[in-house]
Amino acid sequence: MSSFHRFHPNLRHAIVHDLGWRELRPVQEAAGEAVLDGDNCVVLAPTAGGKTEAAIFPVLSKILEDEQAPVAALYVCPIRALLNNQEERIRQYARMVGLESFKWHGDVSAARKKVFLGDPKHVLLITPESLEVILISQKAEAARLFAGLSTVIIDEIHAFAGDDRGVHLTALLERLSAFCKRDLQRIGLSATVGNPDEIGRWVQGSSQRPYRRVDPGGGKAQRAFVIDRVSDDLHAARSAANICVGKKSLVFVESRSQAERFAAALAGRGVEVFVHHSAVSREDRERAEKQFTNGTNTAIVCTSTMELGIDVGDLDHVIQLDAPSTVASLLQRMGRTGRRPGTTSNCAILCRTSESLLQAAALVRLVEQGWVEDVRPPSWPAHVLAHQVLALCLQQGGVSRHRILAWIGGAVPLAGFDQAVLDQLIDTMVAREILHEGDGLLTLGRQGEKLYGRQNFFELYAVFDVAKVIRVLHGATDVGSVQASFLRIRVKSLDELCFRLGGRAWQVRSVDWKKGTCQVAPAGEGRIPVWLGTPHFLGQRLCQEMKAVLRDGALPAGMSDAARADILELAESYEGLVGEGEAALEDSTDGIRWHTFAGGAINRLLAAGLEKRGAGKWVAGNLSLHPRDDVGAAQAMAAIRELATVDWAAVAAELAAGGEAGAGKFEACLPADMAAQVAADRAYGGAEVEGWLRATRASLSRG
């Protein structure tokens, strides 16, 4: 019997008569079988491949079949924008079988949330942070609300698994299971991930349900790339306009500042331009999505905010300014096109430098090889453990240190922490008065109240650090946000400060530092705000493929003549430096350079190792390192040969302790050694420097 015929009769009727579907897609059939059988699963399908329906249809069927009371299912998303986008679709599917859904996040009014708490719906759409709000601040409501919970669907699960938010989510799943006193079914949805079964084990946690990967496969995706060389933003804007005019296009860039800058360059070239990134106001983002969905001559210049499956209808083109940093991002972005039957996914990559061209060529080659990055969860998230100890203190109104692992120890990322490590952490938090221990229960201490209590409770809702930002207002209209540091360094010349946000120029009128607001008025033109972010480190596999491009010269189809000529010229400059299995040390008139092609994370560790071996300070990039000081080739080579004896874990911890990285806003809770280990893992986790050294033999290529 097919999955469709196992669905509740009301759902089968609605799929056929309300939606007009004649059959389910293969991924929906396969996922339906797994979900109806009660298995945990990771469902794989490309963007617009029907993953949402693959999960929600069988879940709705089970709610109907078992007559489950609300809240019966959670639909968890990594970002609010995706929740907003999925809300109408989930509501439609629920209502067509007589059920209801509700969306809960920070932008939903308190009045609407209060109504929901009094009259819960069967499907709750939520982020992990909002789920934490409910568990911490409304324990009695949470116990009642989730008493009948049976299923959790996690959309874009790969966006969670690789960072602290994923650790937080797995802990929340364990706490929910304890609340519900049942083995919750866990369903992950993902378009692009290299290690789905590892992600399956990650989300499985303490669940005893069988795990199943749902990957129906299918024919090879039809993809078309164009890679071109452009000289600057204006040249790129002209090229993009030639593609965009009369079409619907997404233009991806790698930073918020770049989005504002490129939108300004693209404006006035015959296409309606919108800007979409995390600092643009919610209203402007939603307006862009709506106008874009209905438009025919529109382009959204965006960052990764448009990467995670937000539905803006059928696209004609995806344009990428410079190469993205991962294969997964490239696949996610270009997967927004080619959704109509008989069409091809397409992406035009416009590169402003030779290095970006090389990166683009390597990315496309990896796509053609069918390779995509694995997602690696953090290996030592002690700061998240501290976060969850504090959350449990508030959730339970006091908790025994001996009960904490019973609540969250089943989460796979936290499985490495035993009671001895937990006791060390708690003892430190008690000694620092972050926690108070009395009558066998832990509660917030004096310092804990100061850091995380009262008006600072919001610090406990999210595990991640939030940059200090200023809300930008035009009258009562929310324009977006800029970082406080951008305004502070220019506060003396406030009357002259103009900046671009949301694709428009604004003149600063006043700043209220206490309220965190900035009043602006429209202006003719303005500078681009600075949003501080982490550098884009490229992975080892991508850098090795860039090296292979230089070595074998096999360029992917779709490269323009100008791009090909540029790459060939670049390859000539690397002649003799890209031998397979080698990391050549170049000694030229420009100085020493070690061409490792190892990626940024490994190279930063190698630079620190070279300093430890007496070769001075080195500057690390993604492809190579070079000394800051006057270092000779013989001295450099001697230091390189001694790298095999370096304790790389200690080097990473030293760098982290020296300010190269941090353990986040819960660092105050951690013993010094734990804080260093967390910081090292956050900055260098996955930097397999020892394996790289074993596989690579350094050679001096030039005298």
Residue 652 lies in a domain: yes
Backbone φ and ψ for 665, nearest 5 degrees, come out as -75, -10
Classified as helix, coil or strand, 55 is helix
Distance CA 563, CA 557 (A): 11
Averaged pLDDT, 224-247: 94
* 654-669 per-position pLDDT tens digit: 877 655 456 788 999 9
Q: Are residues 473 and 457 in the same domain?
A: no
Q: Are residues 132 and 174 in the same domain?
A: yes
Given 188, 214, 240, which residue is the final one in a domain?
Answer: 214
In 8-79, where does DSSP find H-type helix? 9-17, 26-36, 51-66
* 52-111 per-position pLDDT tens digit: 999 999 999 999 999 999 999 999 998 887 888 899 999 999 999 999 999 999 889 999
* 103-162 per-position pLDDT tens digit: 999 889 999 999 999 999 999 999 999 999 999 887 678 888 999 999 999 999 998 998
Residue 527 lies in a domain: no
Q: Are residues 666 and 636 in the same domain?
A: yes
Distance CA 317, CA 347 (A): 6
Domain that holds residue 485: 469-522
Q: Are residues 445 and 476 in the same domain?
A: no
Per-position DSSP letters for 376-398, written without gaps between them:
---S--HHHHHHHHHHHHHHHTS
pTM over 0.75: yes
* 572-631 per-position pLDDT tens digit: 999 999 999 899 999 988 889 999 999 998 999 999 999 999 999 999 999 999 999 888
The reported pLDDT for the residue numbered 90 is: 96
- Mean of the per-residue pLDDT values for the chain? 88
Residue 539 lies in a domain: no
The total domain count for the chain is: 5
The reported pLDDT for the residue numbered 334 is: 87
Q: Which residues contact 120 (CB under 8 A, 6 or more apart)?
A: 70, 71, 102, 145
Distance CA 317, CA 336 (A): 8
Q: Are residues 353 and 227 in the same domain?
A: yes
**Quick one: pLDDT band at residue 701, thresholds 50, 70, 90?**
very low
Burial class (CB in 10 A: 0-12, 13-18, 19+), 195: middle
DSSP state of 492: G
The reported pLDDT for the residue numbered 660 is: 46
State how beta strands 582-588 and 697-700 pair: parallel
Q: Are residues 43 and 190 in the same domain?
A: yes
- 682 or 206, greater pLDDT: 206
Given 328, 361, 394, which residue is the final one in a domain?
Answer: 361
Given 424, 444, 461, which residue is the final one in a domain?
Answer: 461
Distance CA 509, CA 523 (A): 11
The reported pLDDT for the residue numbered 71 is: 96
Distance CA 415, CA 186 (A): 18
Q: What share of the chain is helix, strand, coil (3-state, %, to 5)?
A: 45, 20, 35
Tokens of 557: 């189809």
Lowest mean pLDDT among 156-160, 459-463, 635-639: 459-463
Tell whether the model's pLDDT for residue 533 goes beyond 70. Answer: no
The reported pLDDT for the residue numbered 532 is: 56
Distance CA 227, CA 16 (A): 43
The reported pLDDT for the residue numbered 654 is: 80
Can you give the length of the chain in residues?
703
Q: Are residues 64 and 159 in the same domain?
A: yes
Residue 212 and residue 40 in contact, taking contact as beta carbons nearer than 8 Å: yes
Residue 562 lies in a domain: no
Distance CA 328, CA 308 (A): 11
Element of type H or E holding 663: none
Q: Are residues 485 and 622 in the same domain?
A: no
81-87, long-range: CB < 8 A, 24+ apart: 81/285, 81/305, 81/308, 81/310, 82/155, 82/156, 82/308, 82/309, 82/310, 83/125, 83/126, 83/127, 84/286, 85/289, 85/309, 85/310, 85/311, 86/52, 86/125, 86/155, 87/125
Tokens of 482: 């800029």
Whether omega before 71 lies within 30 degrees of 0, making that bond cis, reads yes
Backbone φ and ψ for 103, nearest 5 degrees, come out as -105, 130
Q: Are residues 30 and 69 in the same domain?
A: yes
Distance CA 349, CA 345 (A): 13
Classified as helix, coil or strand, 466 is coil
Residue 556 lies in a domain: no
* 233-244 per-position pLDDT tens digit: 999 999 999 999
Classified as helix, coil or strand, 553 is coil
Residue 696 lies in a domain: yes
Rg from Cα positions in the chain? 26
The reported pLDDT for the residue numbered 703 is: 36
* 342-394 per-position pLDDT tens digit: 678 889 999 999 999 999 999 999 999 999 999 888 888 999 999 999 999 99
> In the Cβ-directed half-sphere of 417, how many Cα atoms lie within 13 Å?
31
Classified as helix, coil or strand, 700 is strand
CATH code of the domain covering residue 228: 3.40.50.300
Element of type H or E holding 80: helix 80-95
CATH code of the domain covering residue 435: 1.10.10.10
Backbone φ and ψ for 78, nearest 5 degrees, come out as -75, -25
Q: Are residues 151 and 38 in the same domain?
A: yes
Tell whether the model's pLDDT for residue 521 goes beyond 50. Answer: yes
**How many percent of the chain have pLDDT more than 90?**
59
- Strands (E) in 429-541, as ranges, are 435-438, 441-444, 469-474, 477-483, 498-501, 504-512, 517-522
Element of type H or E holding 276: strand 272-276
The reported pLDDT for the residue numbered 581 is: 87
Q: Are residues 413 and 288 in the same domain?
A: no
Residue 347 lies in a domain: yes
Lowest mean pLDDT among 20-34, 196-210, 502-516: 502-516
Q: Which residues contact 85 (CB under 8 A, 6 or more apart)?
A: 289, 309, 310, 311
Residue 387 and residue 463 in contact, taking contact as beta carbons nearer than 8 Å: yes
* 395-450 per-position pLDDT tens digit: 999 999 999 999 999 999 999 999 999 999 999 999 999 999 999 999 999 999 88
Residue whose entry in the numeric block shows the structure tokens 């568990």: 135
Residue 546 lies in a domain: no
Please state, as a whole number, how many other Cβ atoms lie within 10 Å of the Cβ of residue 171: 28
Averaged pLDDT, 627-638: 90
Residue 478 and residue 471 in contact, taking contact as beta carbons nearer than 8 Å: yes
Question: Terminus-to-terminus CA distance in the chain, angstroms?
Answer: 72
Q: Are residues 590 and 473 in the same domain?
A: no
* 313-340 per-position pLDDT tens digit: 677 899 999 999 999 999 988 887 866 6
The reported pLDDT for the residue numbered 679 is: 84
Residue 362 and residue 333 in contact, taking contact as beta carbons nearer than 8 Å: no
